Structure 1
Amino acid sequence: MRRTAMVKRKAFFIAFVLPCAAVYYCLKYTLHAVEKTFDIVGSARQNHRVKTRKRPKSKPLAVVPSSKGTTPTTTTTTTTTTTKTSFLHLPPEIRLIIYRLALGGPAIIQVRPTYSIRGPRPETWGPTQGIRSEHDPPSKTLRLTIGLGGSPLRQLVSPPRSGCVVYGCVSQLICGEMYYSMMTRFRHHETVFFTDLLRVSRAVYVEALDLLYAEHTISLFGVEMARYFCRNASPEGMARVHYAHVALLFPASAWNSSLQKRSVKETMKLLRDSLPHLRQLDVEVAVTWGQPKHAGQFWSWLTGDDVLGQFRGLEKFVLKASAYMPFARRPYGNWAAWTPEYELLTSWDDGEYQALKERVTSSNEVAALS
């Protein structure tokens, strides 16, 4: 009797359990392969977009001095009628309120290849503060993103699923550590961008530029996003940028390759030339993984006139440089497991850092660098 029961259980296992298990694992690994394929294709498309996309040619804004010669006004607002009224006939104060309601107040804008994300500035920041302070620690969100395998082209990442547990993507900005929101609204299957307001007319475009560029902190993840922003943002808008945050990523063993050094040097020069009215600059350097090879040479090159020393005339400058430590074992589980430890660069020199700050916040020899 017992032998018959065992035979029946074996037959049931072979007839039903094994086929179900085979189907389950087949679907599991097939879906994983499909997901990985989509990730590769998406990364390739993002890379192509960042390298090739460039703003189309357009006529520069036509501006004429006002009667007092102090405030520029657009020529498009000079035409008036006595029988019709429009949005531009409202008092400037009311138009400013409308622009603020549509575009929001001062925020941090993190540039991405497809659509950017935004989040509020930390409440601890002062009214005139657009970047982090000296005492603020390096970005934990940046460490988590890098630990999860993220990059400038793939900024929204999440820990791998753990059994039936699926984690959401990282939802904090790399600058300010605040929760972000998408700069779009979805209504009736249509995507509406907040910046579509600037398409109303060139007069509205000029008036809203200050709110869109001058009051926000522009956060650039890597040299890829810095070049992408400078190639595609409005030239008139970039001339109004006052606050910027730049995250520079360096491989510990290959930072001194000619290609890497030339890329960073040219990107810093591009930012300097594209943001002529920049007031505050926050630079975060992340070295992966471990201390950089020839740390002393790395520090001298980083703080030299070829890289960060190119800037002049800033009101405030902050530099944070960290070496991310490799994981002792492969992470598994929640967010904390994927956040690598970090330590200060072994070649960090406070005296040289203060000397760098004095150079970049000095207004002398500005013309010589242009």
Structure 2
Amino acid sequence: MRRTPMTKRKACFIACILPCAAVYYCIKYTFRAVEETLDAVDSARQRHRIKTRKRPKSKPLAVIPSVSKRTSASAPIKTSFLHLPPEIRLMIYRLVFGGPAIMQVRSTYSMRGPRPETWVSGQGIRDDADEPSKALRLIIGLGGSPLRQLVAPPSVGCVIYGYVSRLICGEKHCFAITRYHDDEAVHYTDLMRTSRAVYGEALDLLYAEHTISLFGVEMARYFCRNASPEGMKRIRFAHVALIIPSSSWDSPSQKKSIKDTMKLLRHSLPHLLQLDIEVAVTWGQPKDTGLFWSWLTDDGVLGQFRGLEKFVLKASAYLPFTMRPRGNCEAWTPQYELLESWDDGEYQALKTRVTSLDEAMASS
């Protein structure tokens, strides 16, 4: 039987489309496999860096020497940056580092962003009335982690979304503390390499005036091992996000990791004034919610802090997705609910213990 013209056209169309479709899907899945491989390699490299990197030994800061007097009237006067009045040097440091901001620590380079405009003067952390971090929910919903804080929604067809670059504490878009010039990365903190005198003067601006945001126990330990010992003594404001699996929170390794991290922060930040703890339980309510709440507020975990000026705790259970999201970032932001075992009375008692000066003097 002879084929009709319509059948021939369909056969030609299929013969042309099938190879193109095969090439398209081959390229698509090849690129996806390469991207997943690169992500795995980068995660392994970051994990190795976080576990092994440690600041080198250095001498403690010395007192800035006073300017020597001239021994002769004819001797030339040597001037340097340190001869400028302290007020002018402070203005220069502020131009370099910027005003009070939120610094989110990463293993490669930290991210910096503005504090919320609603914060009053002297406020370095959120209030109890503020909602839990939406940016943190988005990053976790997209499969992010302390090792992989910059994430992007999966592409939909030819639509490719950019990376999520929001601070988990300030909810603002952030930028890296670096600029590029002539293909070389220039970090603003390189100014502190000028001399130990400049280093000492700039520490207050870099540590005391900023809110240090730590994403997970990994970043908290990494920061305490690599940050300046003198700088950590100047930190006054800190935000810590704890990501706790709902099904394995009571495993000995998980509980020990969080307990040891809180103890490390307490010893490393002796002059901390304001502490913001955000607990994100993934996914769903933790098993044995009552035991979870008792363990969380116990003196061995959050209750071990003393003498703070302000303390805020937010504990949320992230709800699992009912179906795979599609679309922009908003679709990947999971819903949340308050911890079932949350008790306002016990929370206020915890705040009282943590902010009590009498108990701080007794424990010391």
Range class of TM-score, shorter chain: over 0.9
CA distance in 2 between counterparts of 1:80 and 1:243 reads 41
Give the AA of the match of 1:20.
C
Residue 206 of structure 1: how far off its partner (Å): 0.6
Give the AA of the match of 2:20.
C
Runs of 5+ consecutive residues of structure 1 not aligned to the other structure: 64-73
Give the AA of the match of 2:134.
K
Which of 188, 191, 214 in structure 2 is aligned with 1:194? 188
Residue 4 of structure 1: how far off its partner (Å): 4.1
Question: 2:102: which partner in 1?
Answer: 108
Question: 2:261: which partner in 1?
Answer: 267
CA distance in 2 between counterparts of 1:336 and 1:45 reads 30
Question: 1:165: which partner in 2?
Answer: 159
CA distance in 2 between counterparts of 1:172 and 1:27 reads 32
Give the AA of the match of 1:235.
P
Contact 2:353 2:359 in 1 (8 A): no
1:271–1:163 Cα change, 3 Å: same
Residue 79 of structure 1: how far off its partner (Å): 4.7
Residue 171 of structure 1: how far off its partner (Å): 2.2
Question: 1:71: which partner in 2?
Answer: none
Residue 30, structure 1, aligned to residue 30, structure 2:
yes
Question: 1:144: which partner in 2?
Answer: 138
Contact 2:266 2:305 in 1 (8 A): yes
Question: 1:293: which partner in 2?
Answer: 287
1:269–1:27 Cα change, 3 Å: same
Partner of 1:165: helix, strand, or coil?
coil
Residue 334, structure 1, aligned to residue 328, structure 2:
yes
Partner of 1:352: helix, strand, or coil?
helix
Residue 353, structure 1, aligned to residue 361, structure 2:
no
Runs of 5+ consecutive residues of structure 2 not aligned to the other structure: 71-75
1:211–1:328 Cα change, 3 Å: same
Contact 1:310 1:369 in 2 (8 A): no
CA deviations on 1:322-344 (whole Å, 9 max, x unpaired) are: 01111111111121211111111
Which of 160, 170, 174 in structure 2 is aligned with 1:176? 170
CA distance in 2 between counterparts of 1:309 and 1:78 reads 48
Give the AA of the match of 2:178.
T
Question: 1:203: which partner in 2?
Answer: 197
Contact 2:318 2:336 in 1 (8 A): yes
Contact 1:159 1:335 in 2 (8 A): yes
Residue 52 of structure 1: how far off its partner (Å): 0.5
CA distance in 2 between counterparts of 1:259 and 1:58 reads 33
CA distance in 2 between counterparts of 1:151 and 1:128 reads 30
Residue 169 of structure 1: how far off its partner (Å): 1.3
Residue 346 of structure 1: how far off its partner (Å): 0.7
Identity of aligned residues (%): 71
1:28–1:124 Cα change, 3 Å: same
Question: 2:85: which partner in 1?
Answer: 91
Could you say what the CA RMSD is over the residues aligned between the two structures, in angstroms?
Answer: 1.5
TM-score with structure 2 setting the length: 0.95
Partner of 1:364: helix, strand, or coil?
helix
Give the AA of the match of 2:121.
P
Question: 1:3: which partner in 2?
Answer: 4
